[in-house]
Homo-oligomer: A and B are copies of this chain.
Amino acid sequence: MILGHGKTPAQVVGIARELARSGQNVLITRLDADKAREVCKELPTLRYLELSRTGTIEQAAIAPLGTGPVALVSAGTGDLPVAEECAETLRMLGVAVERVYDVGVAGIHRLLHKRDVFERASVVIVVAGMEGALPSVVGGIVAGPVIAVPTSVGYGVSFGGLTALAAMLSSCASGVVVCNIDNGFGAGFAAARILRARERY
């Protein structure tokens, strides 16, 4: 797994090649479209998704992980890149995903109509920008693990995601845990940590 952000195309290609040579599958995150074009020239087997800004090389079968799916909740259109980065991470780790998109707190009934999805989910990941209120509402109606991912969506005092982050950490719903801003990859990986441990016991 390679964080594309802050690396040159040549550096991404070099690390991806090294990983691929060892037989592993490769997931590159934060790979913007321009950089992806250059990387794809060198790595023709790379599959690039523009919305999630991810590139993948799948050469080994992905073992399924977990029994119930992970519910992936998000509020607005602007949150989709982060939600999809998370979805792609989960897919590469073998975890099934059930998307619950376009459910914001200002339209609370759309969210409440999805309670059945939350009930069958093993983990709920909530992706939200602006005021970051969604995890508090979800945390109040779900008993299992809730992982919150703030996004940089918003302007003014959204502070590039800091307000959503601080709101999630200050949530009045107990036991909601939080990842860095826009870190869809981290949330997916954290869900896999939970499911992995579950398999052991």
Q: Which residues of A contact B (CB under 8 A)?
A: 1, 5-7, 11, 15, 30, 67-68, 75-78, 104-108, 112, 122-123, 130-133, 136-137, 139-141, 143-147, 152-159, 161-183, 185-194, 196-198, 200-201
Contact = CB atoms under 8 A, between A and B. Distances in A.
A112 B108 contact: yes
Contacts of A75: 172
Tell me the number of copies of this protein: 8
Nearest to A68: B201
A172 B77 contact: no
Contacts of A173: 105-106
B201 A171 contact: no
A11 B178 CA distance: 28
A1 B138 CA distance: 19
A170 B201 contact: no
Contact of A185 (B68, B136, B174, B198): B174
